[in-house]
Amino acid sequence: MGLADAIRATAEEIAALLRGVPDTDIPVPRSEWSVGAAAAHLAQANELMADVAAGHERRYGDGTPQSLAAANERALAEFGERGADPLAGMIVEQAEAFLRAVDQHAVEGTVVTPLGPMSRAELGSYLLTHLLGHGYDLARALGRPHMIDRARVELSLPFMITAMPRVVNATATAGLTACYTVRLWGGARFGVTFTGGAVAVSPQPPSRPDCTILTEPVTFLLMALGRCDPRGAIARGRVLAWGRKPWLAPRFPTLFTAP
């Protein structure tokens, strides 16, 4: 599955979850949002991403998790639609608009996103990751299977690698010097190196990591998006660690703040 196919399929699967739902006031677990609010946010976010992919400047916070949350609440307050079927249609339509914009601007440079400059390929990975996170929330709220799988998690990695330095928890990383290799079951891997608290993330893992973390892919994405307790994942054997300093592994998720 390529990135465009994954975006299209995920948007359609989220729409299928929503269609026919009579009551969108159902609360989303571990969230202050209802099903209607989460779906409205996805419709708005897909439209924003399509605009950004087309080269239009859209200001949306300053890139910090706090400012993004505030921008989300302002946008929702200005958008009254909470009906399941209309929102399902918007989510699919705006995902398609995004894909058309990417096709029309394929050879151009970077665009400015809510999390800083990205290529359009990275922006597509961002959109997919966003769809997966909120699609998971909606599936849980509605008691349905979620759509996250290993292939889609691997397609989220370009965004993760780009965004991680931008969501570092400065308090947690202060003075930290350590290098990690993060591996997903199935082969994908990347490196994260801290030097005096400054972070560099690379598709290539370090040659001599202090700590290697091996994670089941769905668990990795859910932890990265703040949907899964790392301690529970470790206890269930979904996360393993080894190396010269394996005790660094439980600290790793605390070094970032999910956007």
- 114: confidence class by pLDDT, cuts 50, 70, 90: confident
Residue 61 has pLDDT above 90, yes or no: no
Mean pLDDT of 172-188: 94
Residue 48 has pLDDT above 70, yes or no: yes
133 & 190 share domain = no
Domain end marker among 93, 127, 162: 162
- The pLDDT value given to residue 242: 96
The reply to whether 183 and 116 lie within a common domain is: no
- The Cα–Cα gap between 193 and 201 comes to 6
Q: Could you tell me if 98 and 193 lie in one domain?
A: no
Q: What is the pLDDT of residues 144-166, one digit of tens each?
A: 999 999 999 999 999 999 999 98
Q: Of the candidates 123, 147, 162, which is a domain's last residue?
A: 162
Whether residue 41 sits in one domain with residue 88 = yes
Determine the pLDDT at residue 109: 81
Q: Please indicate, yes or no, whether residues 120 and 151 belong to a single structural domain of this protein.
A: yes
Per residue in 228-246, pLDDT tens? 988 889 889 999 999 999 9
135 shares its domain with 245: no
Range of the domain at 142: 3-162
The arithmetic mean of pLDDT across residues 79-93, rounded, is 96
* 184 and 152 inside one domain: no
Please, which contacts does 73-77 make with residues 24 or more away whose CB atoms are closer than 8 Å? 75/41, 75/44, 76/37, 76/40, 76/41, 76/44
Task: Judge whether 223 and 182 are in contact, CB under 8 Å.
Answer: no
Cα 56 from chain centre: 22
Number of domain units in the chain: 2
d(CA 31, CA 38): 9
Same domain flag for 44 and 141: yes
Average pLDDT across the chain, whole number: 93
CA-nearest of 209, 214, 210 to 239 is 214
